[in-house]
Amino acid sequence: MSKPVGGKRLSLRARLEGGPLVFDGAMGTELYRRGQFIHQSFDGINLTNPELVESVHRDYLDAGAEVIETNTFASNRRRLRKVGLEERHDEIHGAAVAIARRAAGERAYVVGSVGPSGERWDRLDAAGRADAVEDVVAQARVLLAAGVDGLVLETFPTLAECTAVLLALRPLTEAVIFAQLSFLRHAATEDGASPEEAVVALKEAGADVVGVNCADGPSELFALAERMVGQGVPVSVLPNAGYPKKVDGRMIYMATPEYFGVYARRFLKLGVAIIGGCCGTTPEHIRSMSSAARMQGGGASVERVEVRSARPPAAERREAIPFAERSRFAAKLASSEGFAVSVEVNPPTGLDAGRAVEAARMLQAAGVDVINIADGPRASVRMSNWALALEVRQQLGMESLVHFCMRDRNLLGLQSDLLAFHALGLHNLVIVTGDPPKMGDYPNATAVYDLDSIGCIGLVSGLNAGLDPAGRSMDGQTRFAVACGAEPASLDYDRELRRLEQKVAAGASFIMTQPVYDPSVLDRFLTDTAGFGIPVLLGLMPLASHRNAEFIHNEIPGMQVPSAIRQRMQRVDKGPLARAEGVRIAQEALLAAKDRVRGAYIMPALGRYEAAVEILEAIGYERPEAYREGWRP
């Protein structure tokens, strides 16, 4: 969550309106697992061993957590009094926030963890309840003063206590407040509230997010979540790692990270907005949940999942081969001469690649430098893109720009395929996270997402420097020319710039934009990214009809078609006149930007590759003989 080139990072409140949000996992059981036993206050460890607490935070961040909680769950005054630390109340909370902030930096949000008073609510009279609420609110005040992004009221066993705390706390702050209850096995709180009643009461009391945490494992909490979603307020679910079992004198939680990943997908499909873990969960559980969130378009504040290995690093990075020497296409991008052009030609859905090869032949004759081959676009099943790339090179001697998708490969498969691509001479890559399977014909297919695009760009950068992800020296070094994608019209523009900044820092060599139809949007983007110092290819997708323009504007994330352009397409509606108008619109965009970009990335709709040639005529390209003769593959 570093400060982007074009603006400030989103507030936590604004971020809640984005994709799924990932919390961290357990702190207490993780400290216990790392050698801290229960004879001491785990909150007091903020003072006695801050480095250990910070290491837990960092491990959750590396696993993909977007929000980390301070180590303050049980540190209200009355709870600290029982362990002799009441006088250090403010010091413990200040240290907890400082530790979390130091770990998070600009990578994640920090929320103050506030647990219940620790008293049996049904045994307190009115005065006792007021005192208990004041102790909890006093804890929250210190956390807010120390600079947390929000508060999470968690594991409250009764709706009455949680509501009382909310009512006292809400007038004191505009910060985001998450209110989470712990339910008994019969799907009610200790004071008998149902999930439906809890949502209504907490929302009315001022909670920004309502939810459930602790209690049982994912399966049980899924049943509760089904009854909580859809009532006009975001829902959070942070389950335990199942029931603990005593093994060799320690309490071990048995639910696996893989199991959590499965349920994370189910939670998100149900409509849960915030996921994470509670007792017994580890960074590996959160890694699986974060992977599920990335499938759903979340993970906005996590820019990279760290590549780790059991083997320690043992070598220094070598000097990467100069960009211009990595491929013919890279040489053209690095040169000040000429205009680099890539046209997307997708692999077939069956066995015959002949049409795609003939399209590449016509485009090559028109002066196109490379064909751009997607990797399972829109989560569809097609021939592997590397097979088409090899066929085109063997028949035409033409380079390809091959998409490399994170959806279908785990960390081992990523490395193996990258080495294979390099050995086969496929040196031009576009690193993409990939569309989730739910968008395609097989929505129940399993996705991997061990890395996002930023993490993979970093991995490839290491290979270019002669290092594998474990930090060991390789036999030789790769020479990949790596492209990254960008969405100039993204609704969350600050996030898009932030991620693009991280991609460039990770080692991206050039940028390829999504299609841009609004000159002001493109001008803003090129101005904001001018300092990156790497080439930009302008994305162009000629509109095919008025319906096509409306679909792109309303249904495709990261793309906007201005009303004036949609009106132009409406006047011609569909057919040859509409396609010709779509080409003219793309030509206008190309002419307006050609002096500010190094090339174009053209995506012809519905396989009409002749449209790419027509667009290029605006900047002096000529139609090849095959086209003039009425080309059809």
234-238: average pLDDT: 96
Check residue 301 and give its pLDDT.
Answer: 36
Check residue 294 and give its pLDDT.
Answer: 74
Check residue 311 and give its pLDDT.
Answer: 45
393-413: average pLDDT: 88
519-525: average pLDDT: 93
CA distance 177 to 137: 12
Check residue 272 and give its pLDDT.
Answer: 93
Structural tokens at position 542 = 């000629």
Check residue 4 and give its pLDDT.
Answer: 34
Q: For residue 588, what pLDDT band results from cuts at 50, 70 and 90?
A: very high
> pLDDT of 368-381, one tens digit each?
999 999 887 665 77
Check residue 475 and give its pLDDT.
Answer: 86
> pLDDT of 537-561, one tens digit each?
999 999 999 999 998 887 776 688 9
> pLDDT of 100-159, one tens digit each?
999 999 889 999 999 999 999 999 999 999 999 999 999 999 999 999 999 999 999 999
Query: Of 559, 554, 604, which Cα lies nearest the Cα of 582?
Result: 604
CA distance 73 to 420: 49
Question: Given a cut of 90, is residue 332 above it in pLDDT?
Answer: yes
AA identity, residue 606? L
Question: Given a cut of 70, is residue 314 above it in pLDDT?
Answer: no
379-397: average pLDDT: 89
Of residues 341 and 448, the one with the higher pLDDT is 341
> What string of H, E and C letters represents the secondary structure of 136-189?
HHHHHHHHHHHCCCEEEEEEECCHHHHHHHHHHHHHHCCCEEEEEECCCCCCCC
> pLDDT of 443-461, one tens digit each?
556 666 677 788 889 889 9
> pLDDT of 26-73, one tens digit each?
998 889 888 887 778 899 999 999 999 999 999 999 999 999 999 999
Per DSSP, the three-state class of 603 is coil
User: Which string of b and e fits 114-123 if b means at least 16 CB within 10 Å?
Assistant: bbbbebebee
Enter the pTM of the model.
Answer: 0.60
Of residues 243 and 595, the one with the higher pLDDT is 595
Of residues 624 and 379, the one with the higher pLDDT is 624
Give CA separation, 127 vs 8, 119, 251, 480, in Å.
45, 13, 38, 70
Check residue 106 and give its pLDDT.
Answer: 87
User: Which string of b and e fits 286-323 if b means at least 16 CB within 10 Å?
Assistant: bbbbbbbbbbbebbbbbbbbebeeeeeeeeeeeebbeb
Do 546 and 578 form a contact (C-beta atoms < 8 A)? Answer: yes
**Going along 487-523, which residue ranges are E strands?**
510-515
- Domain 335-543+597-628, CATH number (from 3.40.630.10, 3.20.20.220, 3.40.50.10680, 3.30.70.240): 3.20.20.220
Check residue 480 and give its pLDDT.
Answer: 96
Q: Is the sign of the CA dihedral 385, 469, 29, 74 positive or negative?
A: negative
CATH architecture of 12-295: Alpha-Beta Barrel (3.20)
Q: Is the sign of the CA dihedral 421, 321, 597, 631 positive or negative?
A: negative
Check residue 447 and give its pLDDT.
Answer: 64
Check residue 302 and give its pLDDT.
Answer: 37
502-527: average pLDDT: 93
Total residue length of the chain: 633
Per DSSP, the three-state class of 69 is strand
Question: Given a cut of 80, is residue 268 above it in pLDDT?
Answer: yes
CA distance 404 to 395: 23
Give CA separation, 211 vs 165, 214, 224, 270, 276, in Å.
16, 11, 9, 14, 11
Question: Given a cut of 80, is residue 297 above it in pLDDT?
Answer: no
Check residue 408 and give its pLDDT.
Answer: 78
CA distance 138 to 75: 10
Check residue 627 and give its pLDDT.
Answer: 61
Check residue 410 and give its pLDDT.
Answer: 78
CA distance 191 to 628: 80
Provide, rounded to the nearest whole percent, the portion of the chain with pLDDT above 90: 61
Least confident of 3-12, 180-189, 333-342, 586-595: 3-12
Structural tokens at position 382 = 């097609």
589-602: average pLDDT: 94
408-429: average pLDDT: 89
AA identity, residue 593? A
Check residue 92 and give its pLDDT.
Answer: 97
Check residue 304 and give its pLDDT.
Answer: 39
Domain ranges of the chain: 12-295, 335-543+597-628
Contacts with 167 (C-beta within 8 Å, 6 or more apart), sequence order: 205, 206
Quote the mean pLDDT of the chain. Answer: 87
User: Which string of b and e fits 571-609 if b means at least 16 CB within 10 Å?
Assistant: ebeeeeebbebbbbbbbebbeebeeebbbbbbbbeeeeb
Burial of 22 from C-beta contacts in 10 A (0-12 / 13-18 / 19+): buried
351-365: average pLDDT: 91
Check residue 200 and give its pLDDT.
Answer: 96
Q: For residue 583, what pLDDT band results from cuts at 50, 70 and 90?
A: very high
The residue behind tokens 């760290």 is 306
Are the folds of 12-295 and 335-543+597-628 the same? yes
CA distance 285 to 276: 9
Check residue 318 and give its pLDDT.
Answer: 85
249-260: average pLDDT: 64
Q: For residue 306, what pLDDT band results from cuts at 50, 70 and 90?
A: very low
Question: Given a cut of 70, is residue 269 above it in pLDDT?
Answer: yes
